[in-house]
Structure 1
Amino acid sequence: MSRSGRIALATSAVAAALVLAGCADATIGLAEPDRMRTVETSAGTPGDVPATDGDAGGGSDNAQRTIVAEVGECLDGDNPGPVECSDEHTVEVTKQGTFGGDLGSTLEGTPPDASTVFRTVFPQCRAAAAEYLGSSSYDASTLGAWLVWADAEDWNAGHRWYRCGVAQLDGAGKPVERTGSIRNALAENFDGYRVCSTTRPSAELPETVPCSEPHLAEAVGVVDTGKAVPTEREFNDKARSACGTKVHEFVGADRRDVAPSWRWPDSTNWRIGFTNITCYAELNQATTGSVRDIGSSQMPN
């Protein structure tokens, strides 16, 4: 029987400063992730064909095994079995593996709790997503890393598989149905997946919309903050300079009606690999066109 669960990644109430280039006042925003990501775990109905990756511990040689998609194949919903990427699907697999060591040693009962699995595996999924999508700046896009692993029934049968993947996310961080592969999608057409927001990232979580719809901010890139968790002051000091430069390069000029802003991850998200600051070009008024390369020209309508 197919089962699924989900966890919502926590947000933080710590304040993060926003610098408004060329404006008189600074605005304060919340240090929450640039997008809430709801992460689902799933496993499918056991089949008659052995899984392609090795299993660890506890399973009978004669036990039925779940058919699980491999790298480059696609998943749809809660079923881990492969579907054609040309058909509707939600996740494209970027990395496959099995749990080992203490994490994979439990021979019966439920799999490890989701927070433990994410701390252990999700940083690898983030790295795999960057390579697969062709850009380490994918947090500024509507594409995100995903993770699925064996449910309790499959775990009790001795199977320890997990799959990293990528998905196109809606404004709530849930995967949307799509067709076609997104391998190298950001290397080929980042603007087609760029995050635009109807809200100001300086004040609240971005609400993602297509950039062709009215929006008040455009994600322009990310800034790597290193391995150690920075302090609030260190976050802001790094973002102030780096995001200001990214917005200037994105727009092509310094403008009083476009300001750099940024958001950073909370400690929960940091532990599972979200170690980037996401930079935004924040607009004085809503526009339906991008401010990319507008220079000193009139703002798009």
Structure 2
Amino acid sequence: MVAALVMTGCAHATIGLAELDHMRSTDGTRAGNDTAQRTIVAEVGECLDGDNPGPVECSDEHTVEVTKKGTLGSDLGSTEAGVPPGESTVFRAVFPRCRSAAAEYLGSASYDASTLGAWLVWADVKDWKAGHRWYRCGVAQLDGTGRPVARTGSIRDALAESFDRYRVCSATRPSAEVPETVPCSEPHMAEAVGVVNAGKADGPVPSEPEFDDKARTACGTKVHEFVGADRRDVAPSWRWPDETTWRIGFTNIMCYAETNQATTGSVRDIGTSPLPN
């Protein structure tokens, strides 16, 4: 199951979790005439594929790389015996930690401006009934719909080494509609240039004027630094989160360099040169 959340006034934000009823990798150990089953879960730095939390080699095809492990605690509130808490409860309690772990693991707190995103899986119904409360945060490379794509190799520190390789572009104008993520090599109207943090998930959600006031100067500065000049054909635009996404850790404003015509190249450091074709 992929939970995709659209941020009001913000870039299409995506989060994900494995389908709860299929997240089991078991290892049978003989104990007398009974077979005891235990769930094997990937550790930090290991990889997993699809909705199975068991580790696979990161050099092989996989979808998620684990960044943090933990246990779901009593802070989730009371639930019916043997029944896992709802998705929204788990995400509000844990996903802000996953986002922090993703920033550290990827090497950039601005990873929302990239195709890399935080991911979360946790104990399925059978594990929960058996008393297991594990969760794993991870990072994944996402397609335009927010689903993880299969890849090989680790993405630890990937954004510190080459952010442009993963930078998000939009086929639509963020100033007018929800961004449509496309590869920056394809025709696009905007290029993500960074983020501006607007607060904390457990703090008050800014009003629209407060978001705008914070974004106007900060995104304008980021676009100027990204382009290398102030231009009439490249303008700053931004998107911000709604309350639902804010509460699970999406507290960034996304800043874009928006062009007045579609381009297949980057406006990074073009200065006063013509827009790339």
TM-score above 0.5, yes or no: yes
The CA distance in 2 between the partners of 1:107 and 1:263, in whole Å, is: 39
Task: Verify: 1:7 aligned to 2:3, yes or no.
Answer: yes
Distance 1:131 1:11, change over 3 A: closer
1:220-266 per-position Cα deviation (integer Å, ceiling 9, x unaligned): 00001123321111100110000000000000000000000000011
The two structures have a TM-score, normalised by structure 2, of 0.92
Q: Among residues 168, 185, 194, which one is paired with 1:221 in the alignment?
A: 194
Distance 1:72 1:107, change over 3 A: farther
- The Cα shift of 1:63 comes to 4.7
Task: Verify: 1:41 aligned to 2:18, yes or no.
Answer: yes
Distance 1:246 1:10, change over 3 A: closer
1:31-83 per-position Cα deviation (integer Å, ceiling 9, x unaligned): 2x31241522342133237xxxxxxxxxxxx8521000000000100110000
- Give the counterpart letter for 2:5 in structure 1: L
Task: Verify: 1:231 aligned to 2:207, yes or no.
Answer: yes
Task: Verify: 1:188 aligned to 2:161, yes or no.
Answer: yes
Paired residues of 1:10 and 1:268 also in contact (CA < 8 A) = no
Distance 1:6 1:293, change over 3 A: closer
- The Cα shift of 1:107 comes to 7.7
2:128 is paired with a residue whose SS is helix
- 2:146 is matched with which residue? 173
- The Cα shift of 1:6 comes to 4.1
What are the residue-to-residue correspondences of 1:83-94 with 2, within 5 Å? 83-94=56-67
- The Cα shift of 1:176 comes to 0.6
The CA distance in 1 between the partners of 2:155 and 2:112, in whole Å, is: 15
- 2:93 is matched with which residue? 120
- 1:295 is matched with which residue? 271
- The Cα shift of 1:100 comes to 1.5
- 2:258 is matched with which residue? 282
- The Cα shift of 1:8 comes to 3.4
RMSD: 1.7
The CA distance in 2 between the partners of 1:95 and 1:103, in whole Å, is: 18
- 1:67 is matched with which residue? 40
Paired residues of 2:28 and 2:36 also in contact (CA < 8 A) = no
- Give the counterpart letter for 2:178 in structure 1: L
Higher relative contact order (CA 8 A, sep 6+): 1
Paired residues of 1:107 and 1:158 also in contact (CA < 8 A) = no
- The Cα shift of 1:104 comes to 8.1
Unaligned runs of 5+ in 2: 30-34
- 1:78 is matched with which residue? 51
The two structures have a TM-score, normalised by structure 1, of 0.84
The CA distance in 2 between the partners of 1:221 and 1:189, in whole Å, is: 14
Paired residues of 1:38 and 1:172 also in contact (CA < 8 A) = no
What are the residue-to-residue correspondences of 1:261-272 with 2, within 5 Å? 261-272=237-248
The CA distance in 1 between the partners of 2:260 and 2:128, in whole Å, is: 53
Per mean C-alpha deviation after superposition, the further-off stretch among 244-253 and 62-71 is 62-71
- 2:32 is matched with which residue? none
Paired residues of 2:172 and 2:189 also in contact (CA < 8 A) = yes
Unaligned runs of 5+ in 1: 13-30, 50-61
Paired residues of 1:94 and 1:132 also in contact (CA < 8 A) = yes
- 2:132 is matched with which residue? 159
Identity of aligned residues (%): 76
- The Cα shift of 1:188 comes to 0.2
